[in-house]
Chains A and B, each alone.
Chain A
Amino acid sequence: MTEPVVIAMIEDDEGHAHLIEKNLRRAGVNNEIVPLRDGASAIAFLFGPNGTGLVKQSRHLLILLDLNLPDMSGIDILRRLKENEHLKISPVIVLTTTDDRVEIQRCYDLGCNVYITKPVDYEKFAHAIQQLGLFVSVIQVPKTI
C-alpha cells in the first residue's frame, strides 16, 4: 500500500482485539491500528468533536466493526458511517460473533463491504483474520472525501 491506511478497530472485547491484532500482524499487516473500545469513542474518533466526519477528510481509512457493543449497536455506527458524506466511501468490515442471517442481510443493506463471523474454533478464527490481513494488505482504500 502506497498510502498509509489507518485501521479503526471498533471492538469492545479486549481479548478479541488482542487476538485480531495479533493475527493481522502475523499476516504481515503493518498499518496503524487504532483500538476503539466502545461506540462513544468510535464516534468521537471517526466523526470528530463537531460530529461532521470532516476530521477524517482525505484519509485512507478502513473500519473493522463489531456489532455487539456495550453502549450502542454496531448497526447504528454502520448506518451513521454510510450516511456521512465524508466517511461513506471508507470500507467497513463487520467482524462479529453474530451469524444471524437477518443481521447479516441488514448490514449489507446498510452498505457494509464485508461481513465476517468470528468462529469459536481458534484455528478457523486465526485463519479468517489472517486471510483478512492478506486481503487488507492488497486492497486499495480510497481517500475519504
Chain B
Amino acid sequence: MSDSAAREMIAEEVLLKAGALQRAILNSANFSSIATDAKGVIQIFNVGAERMLGYAAAEVMNKITPADISDPQEVIVRAEALSVELGTPITPGFEALVFKASRGIEDIYELTYIRKDGSRFPAVGSVTALRDAQNAIIGYLLIGTDNTARKEAEEALLKAGALQRAIFNSANFSSIATDAKGVIQIFNVGAERMLGYAATEVMNKITPADISDPQEVIVRAEALSVELGTPITPGFEALVFKASRGIEDIYELTYIRKDGSRFPAVVSVTALRDAQNAIIGYLLIGTDNTARKQVEAEQRKLDQRLREQTALLSEANEEIQRFVFIVSHDLRSPLVNIMGFASEIDTSRKQIFARLTELRTQVGGEQNVENDNVLHRDVEEALAYIKSSVAKMDRLIAALLKLSREGQRQFLPQSIDMSQLLQSTTEALAHQARDANVKISIEDLPAITSDRLALEQVFSNLMDNAVKYLRSDVPGSIDVRATESDDSITYEIHDNGRGIEARDRDRIFDLFRRSGIQDRPGDGIGLAHVRTLVRRLGGSINVESEPNRGTIFKVTLPRRWHQQTSEVVA
C-alpha cells in the first residue's frame, strides 16, 4: 500500500466514523467535499466538487492542491490577513487555506473557486484537519458550498435601484431569494414578519414550496403543464417555471406561516442570472393579499345579494303581471253576465210594462197609473245604474290589462327625434287645442335613444292632460323644453292651467286616482300608465305645480336606453 493510498484510507475511515450527516454531505452533489493529504495534495474529490468545479476527480487527485483552484489574489490577501491576525508569516498558498484548521481553530470562510473552464464562483468553505490516532495531522477536509445564489441575489439587489432596495428592506414585502434549486438563501425582514419564521430557520433548509399551500402548488403544476405543454413537478419548479423560461410571472398563492395559519399572497418571481445568463437562483417578492381578498369576498357577497334581490324582484314583478292578466280576464267573465242579463231584464221590463198597459186598457181601469209609471222609472233607473257601473268596471279592467301588457312589452331602443315626436303628438291634439284656445310651442329638443311607442304614449298623455286641464279664464299656453346632463335628458312640459294641489301631487300617479274638480272625462289611468312606462325606461317623472298658475311635468330619461337600466324598477 502506497503512502497516499494509506492516507486516503485513513481519511475515508475518519469520514466513515463521522455521522450520517457528514456522509450525506460527502455524497451530496450540492457540497464540494475535497480531502487532501497533509501537504494539500487532493486525495478525494467528490461528485459535488466535480459538478461545481468542472474537473473529473482523476484530473485533480494526486496532482494539485485546493489553492490551485482558488483565486490566487484572494489567497494572497488571506495569507497576509492571517499573518497579521496570528502574528506568524503564512505562505500565500495551501497553507493560507488550512492554517487555522491546522491550529485547531474552527474555520469557515468565503473564497472564490475557479472552475476548469476558468469561470469563477463564490464558495463558502469549511475546513477541518484530519488526524490519525496519535493526533498527528494527516490531511484536511474542505467542504464548500456554492454561494453564487446568495451572492448574486445580494448583488442583484444592490445593483437594483432604490425602489427595489426599499422593497427588499421593507417589512411589507416578503423577499425570498433562493438558489437555482429553490433552497432559500435570503429571507428578508418582511418575509420573517409575514411568515413567522426567523431567517435562520429557513435559510439553506427549505424552499418556498414548503411554505406554500401544497394543494395549490399541485393545481398550479397541473395548469402550467397543460399551458406550457411540458410536465412540471408539483413543487418549487411549479412556482418558478415561468420565470425560469423568461416569462413574467405574478400569481396568487396561499402562504402557510410557521404557526400553520394561512394568508393569500401575490407573488412576483424573477430569475437571478449570472454574467453568462445562467440561472443561479430566484427572487420571490410577495405581498400580503388578505385585505384585497377580503374586499373582493365582500364585493362578491354584495354582488350575489344584489343578483338575488334582482331575481326576487323581477320574479315578483312577473308574478304581479301574471296576476293582473289572469284577474283581468276572470273579472270580465261575470261582467258579461251582469251586463247580459241586465239587458235581458231591460228587454223583459219593456215587454212587462207594455203588457201592463195593454191589460189596463182591456179592463178600462185608470187607477194607480202614476204608481205604475214610478215603478217603471225605478226599474229603468236601477238597470241603467247597473249597466253604467258594469261599463265603468269594464273600462277599469281594460286599463289594468293595458298596464299589465305595457309592463311586459319588450322595448325596442332607437334614435328618436323628440321635437318631431312632440310635434306629431301636438297635431293629434289639434282639435282639442283649437277648442281650448291654446298656444303650444315646442323648443328644439335633444334626440334620445329609447322606445318610440313608449315615449309616444308618455308624451301624448302629458300633452293631453295639459290641454285638458287648462283654465277657462285665460288663454292657454303650453311650452315644451329640455335640459341635458351627461347621461340623461329632462323634458319639461310647462302649462298655465289650473294646477294641482300639493296634497294631490303624489296621488295623481296612482291608478284610478284623479285630482281637482272632476269636470273632465277620465278614469285616473293616464299618469299611472306614464309613470310605469317612464320607470321601465329607466327614468323618473316629477311634477311642480301652483294651483291656478300652472304645472310643470319633468320627465328625466337616460340618453341611451339599455335592457338592464330598467326592469328592476318596472
User: Assuming the A-B contacts A19-B337, A126-B343, are A120 and B390 also in contact, with contact meaning beta carbons closer than 8 angstroms in the complex?
Assistant: yes
| Mask: chain A, 12-42; 1 = CB below 8 Å from B; 0 = not | 0101100100100000000000000000000
CB neighbours (8 Å) of B329 from chain A are 68, 97-98
Measured between alpha carbons, how far is A118 from B387 in the docked complex, in Å? 16
Measured between alpha carbons, how far is A119 from B344 in the docked complex, in Å? 15
Which one of A119, A122, A126 has the highest number of Cβ atoms from chain B below 10 Å of its Cβ?
A: A122
User: Assuming the A-B contacts A15-B337, A16-B337, A68-B330, are A120 and B343 also in contact, with contact meaning beta carbons closer than 8 angstroms in the complex?
Assistant: no
Measured between alpha carbons, how far is A99 from B468 in the docked complex, in Å? 30
- Asked if A109 CB lies within 8 Å of chain B CBs, one says no
Measured between alpha carbons, how far is A123 from B391 in the docked complex, in Å? 12
- Asked if A125 CB lies within 8 Å of chain B CBs, one says yes
CB neighbours (8 Å) of B341 from chain A are 15, 19
- Asked if A121 CB lies within 8 Å of chain B CBs, one says yes
A15 touches B330 (CB 8 A): no
A120 touches B394 (CB 8 A): yes
Measured between alpha carbons, how far is A121 from B394 in the docked complex, in Å? 9
Interface set, chain B 96-111, CB cutoff 8 A to A: none
- Asked if B257 CB lies within 8 Å of chain A CBs, one says no
Which one of A16, A22, A97, A120 has the highest number of Cβ atoms from chain B below 10 Å of its Cβ?
A: A120
| Mask: chain A, 94-130; 1 = CB below 8 Å from B; 0 = not | 0001101000000000000000001111110110000
Measured between alpha carbons, how far is A97 from B339 in the docked complex, in Å? 14
Chain B residue with Cβ nearest A66? B333
B343 touches A118 (CB 8 A): no
CB neighbours (8 Å) of B344 from chain A are 19, 22
A19 touches B333 (CB 8 A): no
- Chain A interfacial residues counted at CB < 8 A: 17
Which one of A15, A119, A125 has the highest number of Cβ atoms from chain B below 10 Å of its Cβ?
A: A15
Interface set, chain B 324-342, CB cutoff 8 A to A: 325, 329-330, 332-337, 339-342
Chain B residue with Cβ nearest A67? B329
Measured between alpha carbons, how far is A15 from B343 in the docked complex, in Å? 13
Measured between alpha carbons, how far is A15 from B342 in the docked complex, in Å? 12
Chain B proximity of A88: nearest CB distance (Å) = 28
Please tell me the size bucket of the interface on B: 20 to 34
CB neighbours (8 Å) of B334 from chain A are 13, 15
Chain A proximity of B204: nearest CB distance (Å) = 78
Chain B residue with Cβ nearest A68? B329
Which of B325, B330, B340, B394 interacts with A19 by CB under 8 Å? B340
CB neighbours (8 Å) of B336 from chain A are 13, 15-16, 19, 97, 118-120, 122, 125
Which one of A16, A97, A98, A100 has the highest number of Cβ atoms from chain B below 10 Å of its Cβ?
A: A97
User: Assuming the A-B contacts A15-B336, A19-B336, A118-B336, are A123 and B343 also in contact, with contact meaning beta carbons closer than 8 angstroms in the complex?
Assistant: yes
CB neighbours (8 Å) of B390 from chain A are 120
Which of A13, A22, A121 interacts with B339 by CB under 8 Å? A121
Chain B proximity of A29: nearest CB distance (Å) = 18
Measured between alpha carbons, how far is A126 from B347 in the docked complex, in Å? 12
Interface set, chain A 1-20, CB cutoff 8 A to B: 13, 15-16, 19
Chain B proximity of A116: nearest CB distance (Å) = 13
Measured between alpha carbons, how far is A45 from B329 in the docked complex, in Å? 27
Chain B proximity of A141: nearest CB distance (Å) = 27
Measured between alpha carbons, how far is A126 from B336 in the docked complex, in Å? 11
B339 touches A122 (CB 8 A): yes
Measured between alpha carbons, how far is A100 from B321 in the docked complex, in Å? 14
Measured between alpha carbons, how far is A58 from B178 in the docked complex, in Å? 96
B332 touches A120 (CB 8 A): yes
Chain B residue with Cβ nearest A118? B336
B333 touches A13 (CB 8 A): yes
Measured between alpha carbons, how far is A87 from B330 in the docked complex, in Å? 29
Interface set, chain B 382-405, CB cutoff 8 A to A: 387, 390-391, 394, 405
Measured between alpha carbons, how far is A13 from B332 in the docked complex, in Å? 12
Chain B proximity of A135: nearest CB distance (Å) = 20
Chain B proximity of A125: nearest CB distance (Å) = 6
Chain B proximity of A67: nearest CB distance (Å) = 9
A-B contact pairs, 22 of them (CB 8 A): A13-B333, A13-B336, A15-B340, A16-B340, A19-B337, A19-B341, A19-B344, A68-B329, A68-B330, A97-B332, A98-B329, A100-B325, A119-B336, A120-B335, A120-B336, A120-B390, A120-B394, A121-B391, A122-B339, A123-B343, A125-B339, A126-B340
Q: Interface of B with A (CB < 8 Å)?
A: 325, 329-330, 332-337, 339-344, 387, 390-391, 394, 405
Known: A15-B337, A16-B337, A122-B336. 14 other contacts (CB 8 A): A16-B333, A19-B336, A19-B344, A22-B344, A68-B333, A97-B336, A100-B405, A120-B332, A120-B335, A120-B339, A120-B394, A122-B339, A122-B387, A125-B336
